[in-house]
Chains A and B, each alone.
Chain A
């Protein structure tokens, strides 16, 4: 587990990359920055080391230059957060620790092969790129499970074996509403929502990702974005 509070944001654009075709969920994910934190679940601010986005940018440059150690360190920073995030989105049958780790590891390694075409533009692009790739892979896993005989009704844990836990918890219709509404928001609002609600950043971390002056400003950005999102959801 990463110990620092270092951003896994590359300062590069994901838009120029040869992405595999992705669905609305991936488009909705947008270029969100990513933070490594050992205190992921906490809603309170995290103290400790200052955030250092430059480090990741430097690492990325070194990795692009062919430095294997830099690549390792980059992965160390990005992968754990992606694993936590992916854990909640994988169907129960593919949710064991090893499966989550393998899926994320494989996908990230595969995506990193395209590292050389990365072009630095703004924060969080590397993580957003990786998240999209992981999401694509999760979709494949879900599709694979759905080919099995259908399980009807709701299991005790509200989880169908071939359904992502998120879909099981809120229902396909609500997930669709959420994703469609998210897609219609402006990218900064999207980043704020995904960062806070899905990636569970502290407001300090979010301030860095969203390029806001303070945690309080990040909090306000999140509140505003959520209000817009909830309003959009009512019109979907």
Chain B
């Protein structure tokens, strides 16, 4: 940063001109930042005094007889209009309800402050008035024309009878997402019309949108609007700070995207009564933007539909490139929300689909455990199972994991209740809690764990890693349960014996925890995505695959572990066998004492077969316990 840059900035501030703050980004960073910080304060002081003086002059001009003789109009008339009520006031002008004595109807007139004595400014306003009068849209206040009387210029508009959206929220409280979507759609259309006419509105906010007595949404107040090509002119910070896009606040860069941002903030406000960022001064607001601090809509109104929150969050993305490029894009997204979630079909279909998904899932799991069992026993040809059977197996197989999940949720809930209790009764606990959360948030931010792709990578790594470690640890058992019992070595079959039931239980318990964990690690990722960040589908696929693998491993051996006892013991040629399948007259025998292949298909009436009338586990008598030292 050179002396020349400094001198130029100082002169620009002193003259109330736009300062090029980018010039301070060069040179010694710390020093330039210090200068910029001080000069920004001075810039704000000048701007405030200029705005206040203009406001005061305008008010004086509009309410008092002009002392300088420039106009002879009485205080309550302006040209042919009789000013009946002052309905609004801002730094750019006051709005009056007025009576047009020629046409005999009410109009709204915004009389701009006196500085229009400056002929250039006056000419520009006249041009803007002419262009604005060309915007014919049901959701944009109709501009009837621009008139000059004496040294004052005023914008004549239709008079809208109704309430501003700020009044609506104040009187009726927060709106529902559905109401906000309808209002948002109207405003998108209005802004599209404004942009088509070559203007940027620049001051979309609750106070500038009216809902008239018939429910029509009307975008008002073009006081700060200006031609889209007139970038970076003198008033670089026109607009209302909390509604202003960061680039508009910082650089005066306005575009359709900055209007989209303001509309997004308005939607946020309509459903929450709050703003996505809070600050007590413009400096604090800048800092808030710089630190990318932001209150997610899901934190303020967690009950809203996720899709709605995602649309709003995208509209108020700090980076203009991440926002909808144009109100028409936002309109399409809002319309999709309305049609997608609001129709009666989906309202009925959703619970039906939910129940069907649960039943389908249980049936699939049942089919998995049952089929795996039949394949392991090589008895597929001897059984004829129905979907109902599968559903039954699925239900039974899911019981234990559901209990584990229930216990985990209960433990979490108890911890949550205790935390809230401590925080409610003890100041030090509250301080510790908020310090801990803040420190975790900072650490997460430092390691970029608040970015969806980074967090998803960690989640995927943890999920896959845990599943892999479990598979490694239980590999002998996995091998045994996926083997063919007819030909497998008998020491491997021994792992399936009822005496190993604790080992089996442990396997299923560990797998249950692994499944819950590998779903749980995605929870923070889901929260981030719900807030509006996007995620590559490969992460989703990876996470789903890893979880499905763990789920499959959990369910595959269920029937094999616990339901191998229901087969009748028979003697075959003097050996102990088990009738594991029957088809017509044919009997499928599993004879663990015989050398492989142990499965034999015999005629049910074969004299060598003697039914013993007892049932026991088919693995009761196989091999020795080879897991010594496991």
Contacts and interface: CB of A to CB of B under 8 A. Distances in A.
Interface of A: 1, 3, 38-43, 83-85, 87-89, 97, 100, 153-154, 156-158, 160, 165-166, 168-171, 174, 177-178, 196-200, 219, 222-223, 226-227, 229-231, 233-234
A6 to B, nearest CB: 15
Please give me the 3 A-B residue pairs with the lowest Cβ-Cβ distance, nearest first.
Answer: A88-B52, A171-B281, A230-B38
A84 B68 contact: no
A199 B46 CA distance: 9
Contacts of A153: 278, 280
B57 A97 contact: no
A169 B38 contact: no
Contacts of B54: 41
Tell which of A39, A177, A199, A226 has the most Cβ of chain B within 10 Å: A226
30 contacts: A3-B67, A41-B57, A84-B53, A85-B52, A88-B48, A88-B49, A88-B56, A97-B59, A154-B284, A154-B285, A156-B207, A158-B279, A158-B285, A160-B280, A169-B281, A170-B44, A170-B48, A170-B281, A174-B44, A174-B281, A177-B38, A197-B13, A197-B14, A219-B11, A219-B14, A223-B14, A226-B13, A230-B38, A230-B42, A234-B35
B67 A40 contact: no
Interface in B14-36: 14-17, 34-35
B229 to A, nearest CB: 24
B436 interface: no
Given A3-B67, A43-B17, A200-B50, A227 B45 contact: no
Contact of A87 (B17, B56, B282): B56
B437 interface: no
B495 interface: no
Contact of B52 (A87, A154, A229): A87
Interface in B50-69: 50-57, 59-60, 63, 66-68
B240 A85 contact: no
Interface in B147-174: 166
A165 B13 contact: no
Given A168-B281, A174-B283, A222-B14, A157 B45 contact: no
B53 A87 contact: yes
A151 B243 CA distance: 20
A43 to B, nearest CB: 4
B38 A41 contact: no
B14 A196 contact: yes
A157 B115 CA distance: 23
Interface string B197-223: 000000001110000000000000000
Given A42-B115, A97-B60, A170-B281, A226 B10 contact: yes
A189 to B, nearest CB: 13
B321 interface: no
Nearest to B234: A43
A97 B63 contact: yes
B280 A168 contact: yes
Contact of B34 (A85, A157, A219, A234): A234
A37 to B, nearest CB: 10
A3 B283 CA distance: 38
Interface residues of B, number: 56
Contact of B280 (A39, A84, A171, A230): A171
A1 B69 CA distance: 11
A33 B331 CA distance: 56
B535 interface: no
A165 B39 CA distance: 19
Contact of A154 (B41, B47, B118, B278): B278
Given A88-B48, A170-B281, A233-B38, A158 B241 contact: yes
Interface string B471-490: 00000000000000000000
A226 B48 contact: no
Given A156-B206, A197-B14, A229 B282 contact: no
A171 B283 contact: yes
Nearest to A80: B60
Contact of B118 (A3, A42, A83): A42
Contacts of B60: 1, 97
B52 A38 contact: no
Contacts of A100: 56
B14 A177 contact: no
A3 B39 contact: no
B520 interface: no
Contact of A40 (B53, B275, B278, B282): B53
Contacts of B283: 170-171, 174
Contact of A170 (B45, B50, B59, B240): B45
A177 B206 CA distance: 34
A100 B282 CA distance: 25
B117 interface: yes
Contacts of A158: 240-242, 279, 281-282, 285
B38 A234 contact: yes
A154 B49 contact: no
Contacts of A230: 10, 35, 38-39, 42
Nearest to A101: B60
Contacts of A171: 280-281, 283-284
Interface string B277-297: 011111111000000000000
Contacts of B68: 1, 3, 38
B53 A41 contact: yes
B49 A197 contact: yes
Nearest to B16: A43
B14 A166 contact: no
Contacts of B282: 158, 169-170
Nearest to A226: B10
A26 B34 CA distance: 26
B25 to A, nearest CB: 17
B7 interface: yes
B56 A233 contact: no
A41 B6 contact: no
Contacts of A42: 115, 118
Given A39-B117, A84-B56, A88-B51, A198 B281 contact: no
A229 B46 CA distance: 14
A166 B45 contact: yes
B256 to A, nearest CB: 23
Contact of B49 (A3, A168, A200): A200
A131 to B, nearest CB: 13
Contact of B115 (A41, A97, A166, A170): A41
A197 B280 contact: no
Contacts of A165: 48, 52
Contacts of B278: 153-154
